[in-house]
Amino acid sequence: MSLDQNEISKLARLARISVADSETAELSQRIGDILNMVDVMQAVDTQNVVAMANPHDAVQRLRTDEVTEVDQREHFQTIAPKTEDGLYLVPQVIE
């Protein structure tokens, strides 16, 4: 699949990028090559291929969820401009 120079100019305008007229021919060829590669990839039969979450088929190691710092909420709320019932009060930004 290839794109003509008018389609390249339209795509450039939609993408809000500047493409010189002298570059449209080369850009058309390069985009056409990419679209041809996508067509080749879509033609591959994947009916019997099992989907996998990780291409390396590895298990991610997770650390244990442990509290490592002391609770300092009261300290931080004493230096906050406004608090109420353990919550920080902020100015209303949406009317």
Question: What are the backbone dihedrals phi and psi of residue 31, each rounded to the nearest 5 degrees, phi first?
Answer: -65, -40
Q: What is the mean pLDDT of the chain?
A: 88
pLDDT-based confidence at 1, cuts 50/70/90? low
- Tell me if 67 is assigned to some domain: no
- Angle among Cα 8, 14, 19 to the nearest 5 degrees reads 45
As a whole number of angstroms, the distance between CA 7 and CA 13 comes to: 10
Are 3 and 26 in contact by the 8 Å Cβ rule? The answer is no
- Tell me if 92 is assigned to some domain: no
- Tell me if 57 is assigned to some domain: no
- Tell me if 32 is assigned to some domain: yes
Range of the domain at 31: 5-42
Give me the mean pLDDT over the 62-80 stretch. Answer: 92
DSSP string, 4-34: -HHHHHHHHHHTT----GGGHHHHHHHHHHH
pLDDT tens track for 16-59: 999 898 888 888 889 989 999 999 999 999 899 888 777 776 77
Count structural domains, the chain.
1
